[in-house]
């Protein structure tokens, strides 16, 4: 009955035939006719039982009857000629799979014509809004990437969507506040010396007239040196003199101050680089271009490539930006210094002797000394002491800078 069930399925009236066949097998219905036919339960016609046997439908039955004519017989013949799959309807196995291979949406980064319109990735209008043909990234560079650059205190956007990988975060343009420097100052001058005093000779008590025909009108009086005055005053009727203060020289001042107070600095620009796996096939673009996602709205409009260090940009990505990971701070203050002392003075003691070689009796005069009658024949500057004086301070100025280090180069397409 399994074979008959299959035949009945082909003819389209399986249930009726099975019911008739089951009734005949049970011997309870008596529906089989004397000439070996069975009654169809759906129509007033008989169907040869032999038609449901394994014998070909075109062969005579064992009772000598002719094969069944009409649509049912033809169907049986057709069914036997065609491959049997147990179904009333058959179809080509490739028809459904071809239709399923084409979708309605073009996936824009797989180098496949997903919607079977003959256009791949960037060449398909469905991809125009989100993808574009870009130069293939140069070997050694990471790309394509999208670049965000903002000012402090901006917050970089999250890497997501078509560019999910956070490739690099950097900084640029540090502030340059100068260090604060304490004022420079100088101590009083010290270590100076006093030079010679000058003795000037006159021929009156008020020291206004020079001696006539004198060999000289003045003489230098170094410390510890004896000067014979006879040759200077031999022609003077009323000899008198003045003594100047010894001349100060040398000395120095000690500087102080110029200490640096560090002022905090900060970056003024931030940068974030987000990446996508590097495309290696054209994806609907003309080689050497490749199909890549367009940057998100909050990023720069053009795609870029990135490489650590200070680099020259590839020709296809000429727009260069450099960002940094750290900075060195060599800010300080220039050293304080002091100029030469000024305003110092010297005082001394002069001894005037009665003898020509600083011998005999002596009287003491100060240096400097106002107009004084000359009574001795020789003089000696015995002491000279410097005092006072100051130095002009210098230095204590801010110097140095914040210098970015650890560069990374980002080069973008035009």
**Cα distance between residue 326 and residue 171, in whole Å:** 8
Mark residue 197 as left, alpha or beta (left: phi above 0; alpha: psi -120 to 50; beta: remaining).
Answer: beta
Q: CA-to-CA distance for 380 and 384, rounded, in angstroms? A: 11
pLDDT score for 216: 81
Q: How far is CA 129 from CA 106, 108, 121, 301, in A?
A: 12, 11, 12, 13
Question: Which position has the higher pLDDT, 212 or 2?
Answer: 212
What's the CA gap between 199 and 378, in Å, rounded?
A: 11
The answer to whether the CB of 134 falls within 8 A of the CB of 296 is no
Q: Poorest-confidence range of 31-40, 166-175, 221-230, 295-304?
A: 31-40
**For 53-69, how does the pLDDT look when each residue is reduced to its tens digit (9 = 90+)?**
343 334 333 444 444 44
Residue 255 has pLDDT above 80, yes or no: yes
Give residue 25's pLDDT.
37
| Tens of pLDDT, residues 97-133 | 444 578 899 999 899 999 999 999 999 999 999 999 9
- pLDDT at residue 32 is higher than 90: no
Q: What is the mean pLDDT of residues 47-52?
A: 34
pTM (two decimals): 0.58
What pLDDT score was predicted for residue 100?
A: 54
Per-residue pLDDT band at 214 (split at 50, 70, 90): low
**What's the pLDDT band for 281 if we cut at 50, 70, 90?**
confident
Q: What value does the mean pLDDT take over residues 235-242? A: 90
What are the sequence ranges of the domains in the chain? 2-81, 99-129, 196-245+342-390
Which pLDDT score is estimated for 22?
Answer: 40
Q: Is the pLDDT of residue 3 over 50?
A: no
As a whole number of angstroms, the distance between CA 314 and CA 305 comes to: 9
**How does DSSP classify residue 215?**
S
pLDDT tens digits, residue range 9-26? 333 333 343 333 343 334
CB atoms within 10 A of CB 261: 9
Any idea which of 24-38, 202-216, 270-284, 293-307 has the lowest mean pLDDT?
24-38
- At 84 the three-state DSSP class reads coil
Query: At 89, is the pLDDT very low, low, confident or very high (cuts 50, 70, 90)?
Result: very low
Nearest to 261 by CA among 174, 177, 326, 175: 177
Mean pLDDT over the full length of the chain: 80
Q: How far apart are CA 189 and CA 389, in angstroms?
A: 5
Examine the pLDDT at 8 and tell me if it is beyond 50. no
Return the structure tokens found at 160: 């997501």
pLDDT in tens, 344-403: 999 999 999 999 999 999 999 999 999 999 888 999 999 999 999 999 999 999 999 999
Between 167 and 230, residue with greater pLDDT: 167
pLDDT at 31 over 70: no
Q: CA torsion sign, 299 to 304 to 306 to 309?
A: negative
Q: Can you list the positions of beta strands (E) in 51-118?
A: none
Give the mean model confidence (pLDDT) for residues 39-50. Answer: 35
Considering only residues 226 and 215, tell me which one the structure prediction assigns the higher pLDDT. Answer: 226
Structural tokens at position 140: 């050694």
Contacts (Cβ under 8 Å, ≥6 apart) of 277: none
Residue 366 is inside which H or E element, if any?
A: strand 362-367
């Amino acid at each position: 009955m399994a074979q008959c069930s299959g035949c009945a399925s082909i003819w389209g009236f399986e249930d009726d035939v099975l019911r008739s066949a089951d009734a005949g097998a049970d011997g309870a219905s008596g529906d089989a006719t004397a000439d070996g036919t069975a009654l169809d339960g759906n129509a007033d016609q008989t169907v040869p039982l032999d038609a449901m046997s394994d014998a070909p439908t075109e062969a005579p039955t064992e009772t000598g009857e002719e094969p069944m004519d009409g649509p049912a017989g033809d169907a049986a013949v057709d069914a036997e000629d065609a491959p049997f799959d147990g179904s009333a309807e058959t179809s080509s196995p490739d028809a459904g799979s071809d239709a399923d291979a084409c979708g309605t949406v073009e996936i824009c980064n797989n180098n496949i014509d997903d919607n079977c319109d003959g256009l791949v990735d960037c060449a398909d209008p469905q991809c125009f809004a989100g993808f574009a043909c870009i130069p293939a990234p140069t070997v050694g560079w990471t790309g394509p990437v999208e670049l965000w650059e903002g000012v402090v205190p901006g917050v970089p956007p999250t890497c997501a969507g078509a560019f999910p990988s956070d490739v690099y975060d950097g900084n640029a343009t540090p502030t340059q506040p100068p260090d604060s420097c304490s004022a420079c100052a100088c101590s009083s001058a010290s270590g100076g010396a006093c030079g010679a005093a000058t003795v000037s000779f006159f021929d009156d008590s008020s020291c206004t007239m020079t001696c006539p025909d004198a060999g000289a009108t003045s003489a230098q009086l170094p410390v510890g040196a004896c000067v014979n005055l006879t040759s200077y005053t031999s022609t003077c009727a009323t000899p008198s003199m003045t003594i100047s203060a010894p001349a100060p020289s040398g000395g120095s001042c000690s500087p102080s101050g110029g200490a640096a107070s560090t002022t905090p600095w900060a970056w003024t620009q931030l940068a974030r680089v987000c990446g996508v796996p590097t495309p290696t096939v054209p994806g609907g673009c003309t080689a050497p271009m490749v199909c890549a996602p367009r940057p998100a709205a909050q990023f720069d409009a053009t795609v870029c490539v990135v490489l650590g260090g200070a680099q020259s940009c590839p020709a296809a990505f000429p727009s260069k930006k450099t960002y940094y990971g750290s900075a060195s701070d060599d800010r300080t203050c220039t050293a304080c210094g002091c100029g030469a002392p000024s305003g110092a003075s010297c005082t001394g003691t002069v001894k005037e002797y009665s003898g020509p070689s600083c011998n005999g009796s002596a009287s003491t005069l100060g240096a400097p000394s106002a107009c004084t009658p000359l009574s001795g024949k020789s003089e000696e500057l015995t002491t000279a002491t410097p005092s006072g004086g100051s130095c002009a301070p210098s230095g204590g100025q801010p110097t140095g800078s914040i210098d970015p280090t650890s560069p990374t180069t980002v080069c973008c397409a035009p």
